[in-house]
């Protein structure tokens, strides 16, 4: 009987502890936590969007004129590729890439802020154009060089689309074209655009 009395007293004690006021407080606390979590999530998404918006060219880069055709080159012919740039090579350097494969780097401008660079090896073609968006005229000229060589390598339409997509801020870790050509690490940042074509 004493045991039953103790159990009843404990039951009433627990019932008193879990009164509607305590439950309401718990619900309000959870609602507050959920609201704060939702606000935090919105702030993170906003910051991610601001970062994405800032990690692309911040000037009005030249758009593609699809009515002008650019002759496509053989991506396995280095001399055709270099000729397609339409500018003289101002400097070149032999180098070795991370897997030990020999490559050659070509520059088409002496300007260290705005220039086109092409790296050629048996395994890949890497196209990079650096730009200083503070100097609109030089940046525009460099983007035109990037656009021209991209269209020459991939064809007027496909090359133009890739150029526009990365200039708009899209990034491609790997992209396989209809012809089987593989493009890697295609992207533009605040001061450089680049992509690699596997051969």
Residues 191 and 101 in one domain: yes
Does residue 153 lie within any of the structural domains? yes
Q: Are 49 and 138 in a shared domain?
A: no
Kindly state whether residue 33 falls inside one of the protein's structural domains: yes
88 and 131 co-located in one domain: yes
39, 126: one domain: no
Whether residues 32 and 87 fall in one domain: no
- What is the edge-to-edge ordering of all strands in the sheet holding 192-198? 91-96, 102-107, 115-121, 124-130, 192-198, 182-188, 172-176
Identify whether 141 is part of a domain: yes
Domain that holds residue 115: 78-198
Report the pLDDT value the prediction gives residue 191, as an integer from 0 to 100. 92
pLDDT of residue 50: 56
Whether 165 is in a domain gets the answer yes
Q: Are residues 47 and 83 in the same domain?
A: no
**Predicted pLDDT of residue 8:** 45
In a domain, 189, yes or no: yes
Residue 149: CB atoms within 10 A of its CB come to 26
pLDDT at 37 (0 to 100): 74
Same domain, 108 and 33: no
Q: How far apart are CA 99 and CA 124, in angstroms?
A: 12
- Which tokens go with 145? 């060089």
Q: What is the mean pLDDT of each run of 10 residues along the chain (199 residues)?
A: 49 52 71 76 65 71 93 97 96 86 94 94 96 92 96 97 95 94 95 96
pLDDT at 4: 46
Q: Are 125 and 188 found together in one domain?
A: yes
The Cα-based distances of 63 to 5, 89, 94, 143 in angstroms read 86, 25, 33, 9
State the Rg of the chain over Cα. Answer: 30
Note the pTM of the prediction, 2 decimals. 0.73
What domain count does the chain have? 2
């Amino acid at each position: 009987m004493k045991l039953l009395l103790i159990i009843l007293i404990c039951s009433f004690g627990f019932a008193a502890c879990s009164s509607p006021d305590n439950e309401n407080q718990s619900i309000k606390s959870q609602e507050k936590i959920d609201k704060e979590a939702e606000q935090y999530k919105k702030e993170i998404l906003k910051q991610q969007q601001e970062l994405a918006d800032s990690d692309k060219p911040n000037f009005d880069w030249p758009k593609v004129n699809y009515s002008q055709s650019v002759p496509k080159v053989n991506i396995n012919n280095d001399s055709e590729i270099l000729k397609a740039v339409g500018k003289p090579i101002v400097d070149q350097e032999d180098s070795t890439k991370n897997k030990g494969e020999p490559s050659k780097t070509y520059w088409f401008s002496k300007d260290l802020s705005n220039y086109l660079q092409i790296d050629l090896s048996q395994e890949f073609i890497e196209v990079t154009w650096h730009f200083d968006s503070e100097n609109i005229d030089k940046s525009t000229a460099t983007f035109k060089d990037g656009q021209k060589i991209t269209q020459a390598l991939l064809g007027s339409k496909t090359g133009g689309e890739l150029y526009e997509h990365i200039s708009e801020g899209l990034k491609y870790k790997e992209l396989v074209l209809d012809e089987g050509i593989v493009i890697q690490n295609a992207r533009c940042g605040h001061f450089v655009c680049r992509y690699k074509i596997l051969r």
